[in-house]
Amino acid sequence: MFSWYSEVSKDERRTFWACFGGWALDALDVQMFSLVIPAIIAEWGISKTQAGLVSGVTLIASALGGWICGAAADRYGRVRTLQITVAWFSVFTLLSAFAQNFPEFIVLKALQGFGFGGEWAAGAVLMAETIRNQHRGKAMGAVQSAWAIGWAAAVLLYAGVFSFLPPAMGWRVMFAVGIVPALLVIYIRRNIKEPLAPAPKVKKDTGAIERVPLLSIFAPDVLRMTLIGGLLGVGAHGGYSALTTWLPTFLKTERHLSVLGTGGYLAVIILAFFCGCLAASVLLDAIGRRQTILLFSVCCVATVILYVFLPMSNQAMLALGFPLGFFAAGIPASMGALFNELYPRGTRGTGVGFCYNFGRVVSSGFPVLVGHLASRFTLGFAIGISAAVAYAIVALSIFLLPETRGRTLTDEPAA
């Protein structure tokens, strides 16, 4: 599984670990909110729908960040954009700890989301252009597993902080820790090289360098990739957001688990997510991008329905948590390699940032939808229906995209 690592160069390894660290620290900052929803609801007396709105606004902002910062990566470079976005989301996570009311908190979380979306776009393109073709799927899938590391760190921090501090103070302490990822900027600045770029295109009539517009991904030669890729992103992010935003609250309020009990369930799902990313990383280069995503999406639909609808004991739910986390991991672990291979270099950052993050715009409605449905039905029912629909969208959209396994990243779009 990891034999490929010994075959790559020092620069490839450094880029891998920079992106791995950035993604893990992203997860640490982002997953904090899903864990502290009950504390924030209690402190400000907001509804579940309002709490879901925070996730929705954050996802919209991250989508805009991914698109805009992806375009910035095309124009100003992958490494420089990565540094700025890591610093950005770290600072605004810290500032969220000092929010005095709910409106302030929403604004700060939106600004955090902008940097979070931008960091993924810049890092994904940097990885794709640095790692050689035959190992791209394995490397990018392995980088996605870093999300489980950051998620686990957030759960451990939650268990420790909320075991010793009252909820009103505990959630603020957790967000204050969010400044830690800013230290990664130092490593990136010292160790990561910009991928080699082809000579810039020059206009024949004026001799001026052509600038790639933000809307270049809607040109006729790549429009189909952009529309279908965006739809794939909707399903992938919609299912994940519906599930992970509300799962801790579901376990605490409907399964009546303690802080440590909730942490135990999440630990199983997080470990499974890590394993699922690694499994997908191998399958991406073995059976291809399309088959891997299709396999995981179909399994996601089946597992989510079983998890929230079957009457089960806590022990049975714990056991089923592993396949739930495992299959949920395969889709995001696959999208980085696929989206990068769909676009030519000049618009790659813009295209990858849009496809991955457009899904965030539309999927931002899923946490809100779950909160709304939960006011009429059970929270488990709301999560199950929303996530199953989202993963079904993934299964349908992947049939419309080409297979890109082993593709050399060129100046031409995928056929």
pLDDT in tens, 193-247: 877 654 445 455 544 445 456 777 888 888 888 899 989 988 888 887 777 777 7
Mean pLDDT of 151-172: 86
Mean pLDDT of 171-176: 89
Mean pLDDT of 290-303: 88
Would you state the pLDDT for residue 207?
44
> pLDDT band at 275, cuts 50/70/90?
very high
Cβ distance 57 to 110 under 8 Å? Answer: yes
Mean pLDDT of 247-257: 69
Task: Choose the most confident range, by mean pLDDT, from 157-161, 183-187, 197-201, 362-366.
Answer: 157-161
Mean pLDDT of 87-93: 88
Cβ neighbourhood burial of 123 (10 Å; 0-12, 13-18, 19+): buried
Cβ neighbourhood burial of 28 (10 Å; 0-12, 13-18, 19+): buried
More confident residue, 263 or 311: 311
Would you state the pLDDT for residue 158?
86
Would you state the pLDDT for residue 295?
92
The whole-angstrom separation of Cα 66 and Cα 115 is 8
Would you state the pLDDT for residue 200?
45
Instruction: Say yes or no to pLDDT of 172 above 50.
Output: yes
Would you state the pLDDT for residue 198?
46
The domain defined by 3-194+218-400 folds into Growth Hormone; Chain: A; (1.20.1250)
Token pair in block for residue 131: 């790692």
Alpha-carbon distances of 220 from 215, 231, 350, rounded to whole Å: 11, 18, 15
More confident residue, 59 or 176: 176
Would you state the pLDDT for residue 292?
92
Q: Where are the domains of the chain?
A: 3-194+218-400
Would you state the pLDDT for residue 413?
64
Percent of the chain with pLDDT strictly greater than 90: 5
The whole-angstrom separation of Cα 125 and Cα 32 is 26
Stretch among 124-138, 184-198, 216-230 having the lowest mean pLDDT: 184-198
Percent of the chain with pLDDT strictly greater than 70: 89
Instruction: Say yes or no to pLDDT of 39 above 70.
Output: yes
Task: Choose the most confident range, by mean pLDDT, from 281-285, 303-307, 326-330.
Answer: 281-285
Task: For the chain, report the end-to-end CA distance as a whole number of angstroms.
Answer: 30
Q: H helices within 131-222, ranges in order?
A: 136-144, 146-164, 167-176, 184-191
Instruction: Say yes or no to pLDDT of 386 above 60.
Output: yes
Mean pLDDT of 108-116: 88
Would you state the pLDDT for residue 202?
45
> pLDDT band at 279, cuts 50/70/90?
very high
Would you state the pLDDT for residue 353?
85
Would you state the pLDDT for residue 46?
82
Give per-residue pLDDT as tens, 335-351.
888 888 888 877 888 88
Would you state the pLDDT for residue 209?
41
Using the structure block, give the residue that is written with the tokens 């989508």: 63
Cβ distance 379 to 299 under 8 Å? Answer: no
Averaged confidence pLDDT in the chain: 81
Prediction pTM value? 0.78
Instruction: Say yes or no to pLDDT of 96 above 80.
Output: yes
Nearest to 78 by CA among 70, 90, 87: 70
Instruction: Say yes or no to pLDDT of 171 above 50.
Output: yes
